[in-house]
Amino acid sequence: MSAAVQSFLDMLAAERGAAANTVSAYRRDLDGAEEVVGELAKVDRAQIEKLAGAWSALAPSTVARKASALRQFFGFALDEGWREDDPSGALPKPRTRRPLPKVLGHDAVETLMSRAELEASTGKPAAVRQLALIEMLYGSGLRATELVGLPLSAVPRDAPMITVMGKGGQARMVPVSERAQMALSRWIEIRPSDPASKFLFPSRGGKHLSRVRLFQLLKELAARANLDPTGISPHVLRHAFATHLLEGGADLRVLQTLLGHADIATTQIYTHVDAARLVELVNSRHPLATRERSD
């Protein structure tokens, strides 16, 4: 990796507050590009055009992500005076459609929850923790990283809200359902006491439960509940939280705040799943809908 790319990554972390996972993703994309064309601070347009062939077998969304990383790097290089031109115009421009979120139906959520509650009734710590994790994913719409990284201090004793540190180090208050509060209370009572760990869901060495392990736990639970494990993940439960709230009449701006989206355009993707309800709402609630039609 070139020194210029390392400086760019340092800027992402220090000035933009990019999360470690985000910085790692940029690192992989920029490293991969330099393996093909050489040092990015010195390449010309002809070299950049080679990336189209190197990326030809990749999905359009992946190409778009890689191209975005390079465009941001070249903009940074211009600002730093490392380059006098911006060759990003030679980058591939795939046509992409934003993928619609996977939708988990109410019945599937109920089946998953019922299985988790059944296993938690044994009182085994792992099962009680599992229930608390699922209740927070579906009941509060947390991202996997936000959930596993919750400090114990984020859970108040009485207030039905929890402080979450989202992307870019942005904190937000998220409501916690009564079900989730009960599950969290049960977990905190039997949570392993480890002075070295400050996390709500601790792991060995003072660390917290990993995202990978959270994925595994959900898929294993789905299999035991006779659900397709490939259709269950922390992000799918987050999507279900958003979709089902929207179905219940939640305002899009409120949903944006709950999910921690910087741009409401990101939140609007959920409106596709509720088109039928919106049509029914217009037909039943619009002022002209109640007027009798005349000949």
Catalytic residue among 66, 83, 143, 244: 143
Predicted local confidence at residue 281, as pLDDT: 54
pLDDT score for 220 = 96
Tell me how far CA of residue 178 lies from CA of 139, 154, 181, 185, in angstroms: 9, 16, 5, 10
CATH code of the domain covering residue 196: 1.10.443.10
Distance CA 37, CA 34 (A): 5
Q: What is the pLDDT of residue 275?
A: 55
Q: Domain check: are 73 and 122 in the same one?
A: no
Q: Are residues 133 and 216 in the same domain?
A: yes
Q: Which of 71, 172, 261, 277 is catalytic?
A: 261
Residue 10 belongs to what domain range? 3-90
Q: What are phi and psi of 6, to 5 degrees?
A: -60, -40
Is residue 102 annotated as a catalytic residue, yes or no? no
Among 39, 57, 90, which residue terminates a domain? 90
- Assess whether 56 and 147 both reside in one domain: no
Instruction: Clarify whether residues 194 and 246 are in a common domain.
Output: yes
Q: How many helical (H) and strand (E) elements, i.e. helices and strands, does the chain have?
A: 14, 2
- Active site (annotated) includes residue 272: no
Q: 234: buried, middle or exposed (CB in 10 Å: 19+, 13-18, 0-12)?
A: buried
User: Under a CB-based contact definition with an 8 Å cutoff, are residues 224 and 217 in contact?
Assistant: no
Structure tokens at 120: 């938690």
Residue 122 and residue 171 share a domain? yes
How many domains does one find in the chain? 2
CA–CA dist 78, 225 (Å, integer): 54
Instruction: Look up 261 and say whether it is catalytic.
Output: yes
Integer Cα distance of 209 and 193 in angstroms: 15
Clarify whether residues 128 and 245 are in a common domain.
Answer: yes
129 given a catalytic annotation: no
User: What 3 state SS string does 222-268 have?
Assistant: HHHCCCCHHHCCHHHHHHHHHHHHHHCCCCHHHHHHHHCCCCHHHHH
Residue 235 is a catalytic residue:
yes
**156: its two tokens:** 């108040």
Do 124 and 231 lie in a common domain?
yes
Whether residue 266 lies inside any domain: the answer is yes
Measure the CA–CA gap between 57 and 121, rounded to whole angstroms.
Answer: 49
CATH number of the domain within which 85 lies: 1.10.150.130
Q: Which of 102, 167, 219, 224 is catalytic?
A: 167
Q: What is the pLDDT of residue 115?
A: 96
Q: Which of 83, 129, 238, 244 is catalytic?
A: 238
DSSP string, 134-170: HHHHHHH---HHHHHT-BGGGS-SS-SEEEEE-GGG-
Print pLDDT tens along the chain (295 aa): 789 999 999 998 887 778 888 899 999 999 999 999 999 999 999 999 999 989 988 888 889 889 999 999 999 999 888 988 899 889 988 765 555 556 788 899 999 999 999 999 999 999 999 999 999 999 888 889 889 999 888 877 666 778 787 776 777 888 888 888 899 999 999 998 777 778 999 988 788 999 999 999 999 999 999 999 988 999 889 888 888 887 777 777 777 777 777 666 666 666 655 555 556 556 666 666 555 544 4
pLDDT given for residue 116 in this prediction: 95
Q: 57, 90, 123 — which closes off a domain?
A: 90
**Per the residue annotation, which of 65, 211, 235, 277 is the catalytic one?**
235
Active site residue 26: no
Query: Is residue 136 left, alpha or beta, with left meaning phi > 0 and alpha meaning psi from -120 to 50?
Result: alpha
What is the DSSP code (8-state) at residue 91? S
CA dist 170 and 178 (Å) reads 25
- What CA–CA distance (Å, rounded) separates 235 from 115? 19
119 and 249 share one domain: yes
* pLDDT given for residue 244 in this prediction: 84
